[in-house]
């Protein structure tokens, strides 16, 4: 096989760089390093149980309070080792690490920050469901870039709108690398014969309307009224106020949910609820919500907390959790509207209008 007439990730990045003649090429190099980490992980994930011999010991609890699986540990290590040496980064932060990761003194430091979820959906590995890696690239603050000082948590606390690039890799029947550099969304498929990511879809657009929604209904008793209202309307189908039938999906792997919605539309809800009042949401703002939100917005979709655009949220801490709704624009806007409308009264009816009976409890 040859590359004749095919656009590789490298070529795509070079052509994007030509739009900015003064660009140094560091961003291109960083994205290619990330893609290399994803290729390595794709190989390991594809081996399933056969890869057990190469996995490290696990069992520690990460900052999220979750027990790390061996593949979580290995995927995090791969991302760090593939990106620490090139001189593109001032520092990194990962869902699997308590504090920011410093670039070793033996390597040069650059002007970008990388945040990532090295293996989203790893709990699905045992049942062979698609998993993925999510990443976000930020500019390091001026006082950090090139200064040599170690990065601090505050350096990463930038709103999603400040992202330079973001995307994810999904490890399924094929390995695909989804990328935005702020100029639309492109999808690359890994050609194993060539060892290259090859462009298979460009300027991807999320349909504005949909008949699919994704939510974990086991949490229904904890939902806020606007979310319950929306889901009830979807479930009512043609006989309800929406006048059309909806299909419900739930994979429990946010990167797989995002990819389905990116390619054919839909809306995903992992909203704020009352299950744990100390947590205003379940997904991580920096590692999941912001990069996926950037991808969705660049594809003509919308990403929201339910109350406001997620890319406008100023992070308060490195591992902050948040409610997230993303996907087809018109559905996300409807959910936002429900959150802003006055809540329906739950007060008991006045005695004059109460149900009357000869018998009372």
The helix (H) or strand (E) run that includes residue 189 is strand 186-191
Does pLDDT of 62 surpass 90? Answer: no
Residue 193 annotated in ligand binding: no
- 359 pLDDT above the threshold of 50: no
Q: Does residue 361 form part of some domain?
A: no
Q: pLDDT tens digits for 102-139? A: 999 999 999 999 999 999 988 777 788 899 999 999 99
* Contact yes or no for 41/133 (Cβ under 8 A): yes
Residue 85 belongs to domain with CATH number: 3.30.540.10
Shared domain for 287 and 232, answered yes or no, is: yes
Query: 240 with 196, same domain?
Result: no
128 labeled binding residue: no
Residue 123: the pLDDT is 79
* pLDDT value of residue 47: 85
Q: Which domain holds residue 323?
A: 212-340
- Same domain? 47 vs 128: yes
Average pLDDT score over residue span 24-52: 90
Tell whether 59 is covered by a domain: yes
Confidence class for position 252, pLDDT limits 50, 70, 90: confident
Same domain, 192 and 217: no
Quote the pLDDT of residue 56: 64
Residues 192 and 230 in one domain: no
- Please tell me the distance from the alpha carbon of residue 70 to that of residue 353, in angstroms, as a whole number: 62
Does 226 map to a domain? yes
| pLDDT score of 357 more than 50 | no
pLDDT range class, residue 350, cuts 50, 70, 90: very low
Is 254 within a domain?
yes
| Pairing state between β 112-120 and 89-94 | parallel
261 and 178, same structural domain? no
Cα 135 to Cα 223, 235, 241, 328, distances in angstroms:
29, 34, 39, 22
Q: State yes or no: 330 annotated in a binding site.
A: no
Residues 221 and 175 in one domain: no
Residues 176 and 237 in one domain: no
Tell me whether residue 356 is in a domain.
Answer: no
Q: Is 182 annotated as a binding residue?
A: no
Is position 140 within any domain?
yes
Rounded to the nearest integer, the mean pLDDT of the chain is 90
**Residue 346 lies inside a defined structural domain of this protein:** no
> What whole-number percentage of the chain has pLDDT above 90?
77
Which has more pLDDT, 62 or 297?
A: 297
Taking the model in full, what pTM does it have? 0.90
Among residues 295, 279, 303, the alpha carbon closest in space to that of 169 is found at 295
Note whether 217 and 190 are same-domain residues.
no
Which tens digits make up the pLDDT trace of 136-172?
999 999 989 877 789 999 999 999 999 999 999 999 9
Q: Is 216 within any annotated ligand binding site?
A: yes
Q: 194 with 246, same domain? A: no
Q: Please say if the pLDDT value at position 2 is more than 80.
A: no
Mention every residue, 6+ apart, whose C-beta is less than 8 A from residue 103: 84, 89, 90, 91, 92, 109
pLDDT band at 54 (very low <50, low <70, confident <90, very high): low
119 is in an annotated binding site: yes
Q: Is the pLDDT of residue 340 over 80?
A: yes
| Residue 106 annotated as part of some ligand binding site | no
- Looking at 166, 201, 236, the residue that finishes a domain is 201
C-alpha dist (Å) from residue 298 to 147, 302, 337: 32, 9, 22
Is 279's pLDDT higher than 70?
Answer: yes
**Looking at residue 349, what is its pLDDT?**
47
Q: What is the pLDDT of residue 22?
A: 76
- Of 170, 201, 232, which one is at a domain's C-terminal end? 201
Q: Are residues 245 and 196 in the same domain?
A: no
Residue 360 lies in a domain: no
98 and 18 share one domain = yes
| Number of domains the chain contains | 2
Which CATH number goes with the domain that contains 274? 3.40.190.80
Which residue among 154, 180, 201 closes a domain? 201
């Amino acid at each position: 096989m040859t590359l004749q007439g095919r656009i590789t990730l490298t070529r795509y990045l070079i052509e994007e760089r030509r739009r900015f003649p003064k660009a140094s090429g560091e961003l291109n190099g960083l994205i290619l390093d990330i893609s290399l980490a994803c290729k390595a992980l794709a190989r390991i994930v594809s081996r399933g149980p056969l890869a057990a011999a190469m996995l490290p010991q696990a069992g520690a609890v990460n900052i999220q309070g979750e027990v790390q699986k061996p593949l979580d540990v290995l995927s995090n290590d791969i991302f760090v080792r593939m990106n620490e040496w090139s001189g593109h980064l001032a520092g990194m932060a990962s869902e699997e690490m308590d504090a920011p990761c410093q670039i070793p003194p033996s390597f040069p430091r650059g002007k970008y920050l990388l945040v990532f979820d090295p293996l989203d959906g790893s709990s699905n590995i045992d049942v062979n469901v698609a998993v993925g890696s999510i990443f976000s690239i930020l500019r390091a603050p001026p006082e950090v870039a090139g200064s040599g000082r170690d990065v601090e948590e505050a350096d990463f606390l930038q709103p999603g709108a400040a992202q330079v690039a973001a995307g994810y890799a999904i490890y399924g029947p094929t390995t695909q690398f989804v990328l935005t550099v702020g100029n639309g969304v492109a999808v690359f498929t890994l050609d194993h014969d060539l060892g290259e990511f090859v462009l298979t879809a460009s300027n991807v657009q999320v349909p504005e309307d949909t008949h699919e929604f994704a939510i974990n209904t086991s949490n229904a008793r904890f939902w806020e009224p606007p979310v319950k209202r929306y889901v009830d309307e979807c479930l009512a189908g043609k006989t309800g106020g929406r006048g059309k039938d909806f299909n419900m999906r739930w994979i429990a792997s946010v990167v797989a949910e995002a990819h389905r919605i990116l390619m054919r539309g839909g809306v995903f809800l992992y909203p704020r609820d009352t299950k744990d009042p100390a947590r205003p949401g379940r997904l991580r703002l920096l590692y999941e919500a912001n990069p996926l939100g950037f991808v969705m917005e660049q594809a003509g979709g919308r990403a929201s907390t339910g109350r406001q655009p997620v890319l406008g949220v100023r992070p308060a801490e490195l591992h902050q959790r948040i409610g997230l709704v993303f996907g087809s624009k018109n559905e996300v806007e409807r959910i936002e509207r429900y959150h802003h409308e006055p809540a329906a009264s739950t007060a008991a009816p006045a005695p004059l209008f109460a149900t009357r009976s000869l018998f009372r409890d």
